[in-house]
Amino acid sequence: MIDVLIVGGGGAGLRAAIAVAETDPSLTVAVVSKVYPMRSHTVSAEGGAAGVIGDGDTLDEHCYDTISGGDWLCDQDAVEAFVAEAPRELIQLEHWGCPWSRENDGRVAVRPFGGMKRERTWYAADKTGFHLLHTLFQTTLKYRDVVRYDEWYVTKLLVDDGRVHGVVAVELKSGRVETIQARTVILATGGCGRVFPFTTNAAIKTGDGMALAYRAGAPLKDMEFVQYHPTGLPFTGILITEAARAEGGWLINKDGYRYLQDYDLGKPTPKPRLRSMELGPRDRLSQAFVHEQRQGRTVDTPYGAVVYLDLRHLGEAKIDARIPFVRELCRSYQNLDPATDLIPVRPVVHYMMGGVHTDLDGATPVAGLYAAGETACVSINGANRLGSNSLPEILVFGRRAGMAAAEFARSHRQSAPPAVQAQGEDERRRLERARERNPRGERVADLREAMQHTLEGAAGIYRTESALAAAVDTLADLRERAQDARVEDPSGTFNTELINLQELHTMLDVAQTIVACALNRRESRGAHQRSDFEARDDTAYLAHSLVHRAPDGTPSVGLLPVTITRWPPGERVYGRD
């Protein structure tokens, strides 16, 4: 029996593992990850991590930027806890060996980031996530009691009488199905960007943790809020970090015009300052792109309409010193050099503000079940996450979830009931039957593509009642068809076809919650823009969407009031002097 079992080996999961080991070295800890931990998606975060460090900055200012940027859907008690603890976590990373970039006088370097009034984003060139994940992974190695299940895929949470008792997982290299009993489980599997066709997210980000919790009886929260990042490469969806604009990059349309000066980005003046407008909130910048496209001012390419990110005026030396990975990506994937060429970019699905409903310590309504990172919704991000808040979020709430899970495991020492092992056997038989599907069924890839294009068409940057209602029916049909999807590979060894089918079921569950929540929220707020309800409605919708799985498998949506502490709802602002 494992004391704390963590599903996911990225930043949140590894930080939780360290917290458990530090809280009580006598506890056993296991990390189950469907990829080797250093291949987790945290490694791709480029720009930096926000934390108040001085030079006139204050915790209250970071709180206000976060709450305003989230269009007042953030729980303010969670934001206050997050902002207070973020600097301590970033300093702790420094002590563990994270190589933060430095100013000439030795101080940690910070850069501006979208939606932030102050320069508070710590960075390690433009490979911050890479160095952060290395630091956490190397730190876990000093704790002998942290056991890793690398390349195992969790298919089910074992729950009896409202309490979690472990998981069922498949070893990818052999196909062996194992019931792993645990006193507590922490979900840290990241987001679900792969439910959309064009995303910065790695192929592994299929919403596994969200679906596991949802099926086990824990509600999901704010699933309608899907963040588009304004600068993805048009063919691959690879992210060009916000750091490129923080260092002075411009967004221009086909006429070479910095079009953002024509849009309301949230600043209470007619036009934003030219030097700061590219650092408006991500939702507003992505929406501005759509308007440029509708007015014929974008550039058509084989991979969709684009605008250009112009870094040429920064010069080769600054690009190489501050954003070298941007140059590397452009050369490798677009065959261009940002020191001399324009970079074609377009909005791309990047991040989920929603996730598993938790309290400030990562606890879900299912006893013994916790969640942290992008899998969870605590909620500090509200309707729109500010760039550079996500990395400190996985640290702060990974630590909190680890400490809380450790305490739960210490106080609940009883053995799992016999029903748990029976559930594990049922799941093993289900997975064996999945290899025996009718070979005349539809291909997993075809069903996945249909799902992705349904989401893109109905729940993209702008939504309407009719499109969302049609998507409800389409997704229900796809869910039925997926039950008979074709699996041609009967083997156990690295049966990616079988795993892809399990991921398809996961993504369809998540996709249904996104559409259901978007249909229920009849207002426009942050990343959720309804063309048929264009105004923000604080009277009816200053509340989180809370979605449960009904007995027939369909989503049931309700509302949960937002926690307001000190900042009443007001006008969204950014970049205020």
Q: Is the bond into 101 cis (omega within 30 degrees of 0)?
A: no
Cα–Cα distance for residue pair 150/35, rounded to 1 Å: 6
Tokens 């056997």, residue located: 425
Give the relative orientation of helices 128-140 and 390-411 as an angle to the nearest 10 degrees. 20
- DSSP per-residue letters across 50-101: E---STT--HHHHHHHHHHHTTT-S-HHHHHHHHHHHHHHHHHHHHHT----
What radius of gyration, in Å, describes the C-alpha atoms of the chain? 23
Cα–Cα distance for residue pair 150/203, rounded to 1 Å: 17
Cα–Cα distance for residue pair 416/157, rounded to 1 Å: 13
Q: Which of 62, 163, 194, 245 is catalytic?
A: 245
Output the CA–CA distances (angstroms, integers) from residue 171 to 129, 141, 278, 546, in the order listed: 27, 22, 45, 33
For residue 57 the two structure tokens come to 């900055």
**Cβ atoms of residues 311 and 249 within 8 Å:** yes
Q: Where are the beta strands (DSSP E) in 139-194?
A: 146-150, 152-160, 163-171, 177-187
Q: Map residue 569 onto helix, strand or coil.
A: coil
Q: Which amino acid is at 31?
A: V
For residue 46 the two structure tokens come to 């480029």
167-206 core/surface letters (b: 16 or more CB in 10 A; e: else): bbbbbbeebebebbbbbbbbbbbbbbbbbbbbbbbbebbb
**Cβ atoms of residues 114 and 386 within 8 Å:** yes
Q: Which of 148, 183, 229, 530 is catalytic?
A: 229
Q: Which amino acid is at 266?
A: G
Q: Is 357 an active-site residue?
A: no
Cα–Cα distance for residue pair 187/212, rounded to 1 Å: 9
Q: Is 433 an active-site residue?
A: no
- Residue 540: how many other CB atoms lie within 10 Å: 10
**Cβ atoms of residues 7 and 154 within 8 Å:** yes
Q: Which amino acid is at 238?
A: I
- DSSP per-residue letters across 387-398: TTSHHHHHHHHH
Helix runs in 349-417, H state only:
390-411
Cα–Cα distance for residue pair 366/159, rounded to 1 Å: 8
Output the CA–CA distances (angstroms, integers) from residue 183 to 140, 159, 198, 358, 405, in the order listed: 21, 11, 38, 18, 9
**Cβ atoms of residues 207 and 47 within 8 Å:** no
Catalytic residues: 229, 245
